[in-house]
C-alpha cells in the first residue's frame, strides 16, 4: 500500500503547523496572566536593547513592572525557572547557557540558563498584545484615503510608463496597504455598528449624544466614496493602458523577498493587482466593485443607525423597553424556587388560567333523546354564580333572599311597551298609505323609517351598492332601488334625510299582516 504524503497546510507541514499552534498554549494555561507578565518583561527589556536575559534579569524587569502596575505579580512569589522552562517547551522562548556568569568552579558546573524570544514566539506575543490592547469602539472610516489612492494611481501610471521599477514597487505596495487598511477599517466599523444594534445595554444618553457625529461621519464617507469612485475606476484603466504585464514584472523585479522564487513573486503581485481591480474597477459592466458594495453597506448602516435611534427614543418615551421588561420577567422565572411559584407568577403576569368546568343535570332527562349529541340537544340554564365562582347559588352564604314580585309595576311596564308598539304600527300603516314623498313625516313615522333603513343597509354583502335592498317590519316593506345620479330627499320633523343613488319606496307587506298588540291581563 502506497502512503500518500500529506499536503502542506498554510505552507507548513503537520509538524510545523503544530509547533506554530503550540505558541499560544500559554494563553489558555492555568497561570496565563503570570506568563503574560513574564513575556511583557522580556518585551520591555527588548525595547531597551537587552535581548538575552538571565533569571535574575527577568526578576528585576518584573520588579519594575510590579512597581508601575498593581496587576503584575510579585517575582518573589514566583518559581521563575519552572515558568520560563514552560515557555521554552511551548516554543515562545529559547534557552541557552552562559558560563561567563560563573565565579567559581561549582557555579560553572551548575546550569546558568539565559532566555530570549524566538522569532515565532515574539510574533505570537505581539499578536496577543494587539488583541488585548485593541479598542473595539475606536473604529472609523477614513474618507481622506481616496485622494491618496487617486494620486498613487496616477504616479503608478507615470512610473510604469517611464520604466522606473523601484517607483512602481513603492507605489504599488502603498496602494496594496491602503486598500487593506480601508477593508480592515470598514470591517471593524460595520461590526461595531452591528454590535451596537444587537446589544441590550445601549445607554440612551451616550447614543443620543453621539448620534449626530455618527450620522455625519457616515454621510461624509459616503459622499467622498461616491465622488471618487468613477475617478478611481478611470485611473485604474489608465494604469493598465501603460502595460499590465510590464507593471507586474517591474514590481516583482524590485521585490526584495529572498525566499520567494521569481515565479512566486510574479503570481503574488498579479494577485494583488486583481484584488485592487476588483475593489475599484471590476472587468464586467454588470459586476459590482467592492467600492460599490462599501457604498451600499454605508447606506444600510445609516438606516440601521436611524432604526436604533427610533428604538432608543421609544424606550425613553416609555421609560423602559419591551425587551428589557421581558428580560427582567425571565430573570424572575429563573429565580423562582418551586414549580408552583413559577405557575403562580405565570398566572399573575399573563392572566391565564385553567377553564372552569361545571356540570348541571337537566330537570327532565327523559325529555331529551339519548341519541342526540350535546351540539343538538337543548341548552341547560346555568347560574351566573356557578359559572363565575364555581359554587352553586346559596352555597356558603345561606338561603337566597326572597324575591319580591311587584305585579303592578310589571303591568305598567308591559302596558307602556304595547302602547309604543301600537304607535309604531299605526305610523307604519300611515307611512305605507301616504308614501314618503308627499308629506312631512312625524316622529313615530321617522322612527319606523330609520329602523327599516338600518335593517336594509345592514343586509348589504361586502358593501355592494348595485343590488336592491329591502327590509320589512311593523307590517310594511321598505325597498331601496339603485338609481345612479338620483338624489332622494325625505322631509321629517327632525330635518331632511338625503339618499344619494337610491330610490326609496315604502309599501304594505303582502305576507305580513299588521297585528296590533292588545293589552292582556295577567
Q: Look at 4-8, 260-264, 346-350, 382-386 and tell me which has the smallest mean pLDDT.
A: 4-8
Contacts of 157 (CB under 8 A, 6+ apart): 235, 238, 239, 241, 242
pLDDT at residue 55, rounded to an integer:
84
Distance of CA 59 to the CA centre of its chain: 51
Number of other residues whose CB lies within 10 A of the CB of residue 440: 11
Q: Which CATH code fits 17-133?
A: 1.10.10
pLDDT tens track for 90-141: 888 988 876 565 555 544 444 577 888 988 888 888 888 887 776 545 556 6
Q: In angstroms, rounded to a whole number, what is the distance separating the alpha carbons of residues 488 and 455?
A: 19
pLDDT tens track for 151-180: 888 888 898 888 888 888 888 888 888 888
Integer-rounded Cα radius of gyration of the chain: 46
H or E element that contains 186: helix 165-198
Confidence class of residue 432 from pLDDT cuts 50, 70 and 90?
Answer: confident
User: Strands, E, within 107-161: which ranges?
Assistant: 113-117
Distance of CA 408 to the CA centre of its chain: 71
Instruction: Identify the three-state secondary structure at position 139.
Output: coil
Q: Look at 10-19, 35-44, 63-72, 468-477 and tell me which has the smallest mean pLDDT.
A: 10-19
As given in the structure block, the three cell numbers for residue 239 are 494604469
pLDDT at residue 13, rounded to an integer:
59
pLDDT at residue 513, rounded to an integer:
41
Asked whether the CA dihedral 466, 472, 473, 477 is positive or negative, the reply is positive
pTM: 0.40
Q: In angstroms, rounded to a whole number, what is the distance separating the alpha carbons of residues 228 and 28?
A: 46
Q: Which one of 2-11, 14-23, 256-265 scores highest in mean pLDDT?
A: 256-265
Q: Please give the backbone phi and psi of residue 37, each rounded to the nearest 5 degrees, phi first.
A: -70, -30
Among 206, 198, 214, which residue's Cα sits nearest to residue 316? 206
pLDDT tens track for 501-514: 788 888 887 644 44
Instruction: Identify the three-state secondary structure at position 228.
Output: helix
Among 472, 475, 492, 490, which residue's Cα sits nearest to residue 426? 475
- Asked if residues 478 and 452 have their Cβ atoms less than 8 Å apart, the reply is yes
Q: Hey, where are the domains in the chain?
A: 17-133, 143-305, 410-508
pLDDT tens track for 67-83: 888 888 888 888 888 88
pLDDT at residue 1, rounded to an integer:
44
Q: In angstroms, rounded to a whole number, what is the distance separating the alpha carbons of residues 178 and 148?
A: 9
Residue 309 in this model has a pLDDT that exceeds 60: yes
As given in the structure block, the three cell numbers for residue 397 are 352564604
Q: In angstroms, rounded to a whole number, what is the distance separating the alpha carbons of residues 70 and 33?
A: 13
H or E element that contains 112: none
Contacts of 110 (CB under 8 A, 6+ apart): 102
Q: In angstroms, rounded to a whole number, what is the distance separating the alpha carbons of residues 200 and 194?
A: 12
pLDDT at residue 14, rounded to an integer:
58
For residues 87 and 392, which has the higher predicted lDDT (pLDDT)?
87
Q: In angstroms, rounded to a whole number, what is the distance separating the alpha carbons of residues 328 and 142?
A: 41
What is the share, in percent, of the chain residues with pLDDT greater than 70? Answer: 76
**Beta-bridge partners for 347:** none
Instruction: Report in angstroms the alpha-carbon separations of 315 from 200, 285, 312, 321, 329.
Output: 12, 46, 5, 5, 17
Residue 312 in this model has a pLDDT that exceeds 80: no
Average pLDDT value for residue range 40-58: 85
Q: In angstroms, rounded to a whole number, what is the distance separating the alpha carbons of residues 235 and 150?
A: 7
Amino acid at each position: 500500500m502506497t502512503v500518500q504524503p500529506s499536503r502542506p497546510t498554510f505552507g507548513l507541514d503537520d509538524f510545523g503547523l503544530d509547533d506554530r499552534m503550540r505558541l499560544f498554549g500559554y494563553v489558555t494555561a492555568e497561570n496565563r496572566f503570570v506568563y503574560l507578565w513574564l513575556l511583557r518583561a522580556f518585551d520591555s527589556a527588548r525595547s531597551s536593547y537587552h535581548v538575552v536575559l538571565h533569571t535574575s534579569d527577568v526578576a528585576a524587569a518584573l520588579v519594575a513592572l510590579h512597581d508601575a502596575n498593581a496587576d503584575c505579580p510579585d517575582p518573589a512569589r514566583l518559581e521563575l525557572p519552572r515558568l520560563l522552562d514552560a515557555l521554552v517547551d511551548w516554543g515562545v522562548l529559547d534557552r541557552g547557557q552562559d558560563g561567563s556568569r560563573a565565579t567559581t568552579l561549582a557555579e560553572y558546573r551548575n546550569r546558568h540558563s539565559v532566555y530570549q524570544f524566538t522569532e515565532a514566539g515574539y510574533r505570537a506575543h505581539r499578536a496577543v498584545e494587539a488583541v488585548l490592547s485593541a479598542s473595539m469602539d475606536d473604529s472609523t472610516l477614513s474618507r481622506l484615503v481616496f485622494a491618496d489612492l487617486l494620486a498613487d494611481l496616477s504616479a503608478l501610471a507615470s512610473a510604469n510608463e517611464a520604466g522606473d521599477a523601484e517607483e512602481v514597487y513603492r507605489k504599488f505596495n502603498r496602494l496594496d496597504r491602503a486598500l487593506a487598511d480601508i477593508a480592515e477599517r470598514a470591517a471593524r466599523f460595520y461590526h461595531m455598528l452591528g454590535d451596537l444594534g444587537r446589544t441590550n445595554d445601549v445607554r440612551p444618553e451616550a447614543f443620543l449624544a453621539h448620534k449626530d457625529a455618527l450620522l455625519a461621519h457616515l454621510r461624509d464617507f459616503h459622499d467622498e466614496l461616491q465622488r471618487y469612485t468613477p475617478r478611481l475606476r478611470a485611473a485604474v484603466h489608465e494604469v493598465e493602458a501603460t502595460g499590465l504585464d510590464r507593471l507586474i514584472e517591474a514590481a516583482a523585479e524590485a521585490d526584495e523577498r529572498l525566499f520567494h522564487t521569481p515565479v512566486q513573486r510574479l503570481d503574488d503581485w498579479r494577485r494583488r493587482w486583481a484584488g485592487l481591480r476588483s475593489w475599484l474597477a471590476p472587468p464586467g459592466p454588470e459586476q459590482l466593485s467592492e467600492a460599490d458594495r462599501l457604498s451600499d453597506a454605508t447606506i444600510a448602516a445609516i438606516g440601521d443607525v436611524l432604526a436604533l435611534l427610533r428604538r432608543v427614543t421609544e424606550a425613553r418615551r416609555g421609560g423602559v423597553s419591551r425587551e428589557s421588561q421581558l428580560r427582567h420577567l425571565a430573570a424572575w422565572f429563573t429565580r423562582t424556587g418551586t414549580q408552583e411559584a413559577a405557575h403562580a407568577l405565570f398566572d399573575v403576569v399573563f392572566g391565564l388560567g385553567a377553564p372552569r368546568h361545571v356540570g348541571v343535570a337537566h330537570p327532565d332527562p327523559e325529555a331529551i333523546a339519548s341519541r342526540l349529541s350535546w351540539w343538538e340537544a337543548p341548552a341547560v340554564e346555568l347560574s351566573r354564580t356557578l359559572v363565575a365562582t364555581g359554587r352553586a347559588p346559596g352555597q356558603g352564604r345561606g338561603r337566597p333572599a326572597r324575591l319580591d314580585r311587584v305585579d303592578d309595576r310589571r303591568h305598567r311596564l308591559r302596558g307602556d311597551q304595547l302602547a309604543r308598539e301600537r304607535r309604531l304600527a299605526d305610523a307604519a300603516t300611515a307611512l305605507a298609505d301616504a308614501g314618503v314623498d308627499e308629506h312631512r313625516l312625524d316622529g313615530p313615522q321617522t322612527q319606523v323609517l330609520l329602523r327599516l333603513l338600518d335593517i336594509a343597509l345592514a343586509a348589504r354583502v361586502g358593501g355592494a351598492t348595485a343590488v336592491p335592498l329591502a327590509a320589512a317590519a311593523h307590517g310594511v316593506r321598505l325597498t331601496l332601488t339603485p338609481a345612479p345620479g338620483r338624489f332622494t330627499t325625505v322631509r321629517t320633523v327632525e330635518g331632511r334625510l338625503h339618499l344619494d343613488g337610491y330610490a326609496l319606496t315604502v309599501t304594505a307587506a303582502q305576507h305580513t299582516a299588521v297585528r296590533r298588540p292588545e293589552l292582556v291581563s295577567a
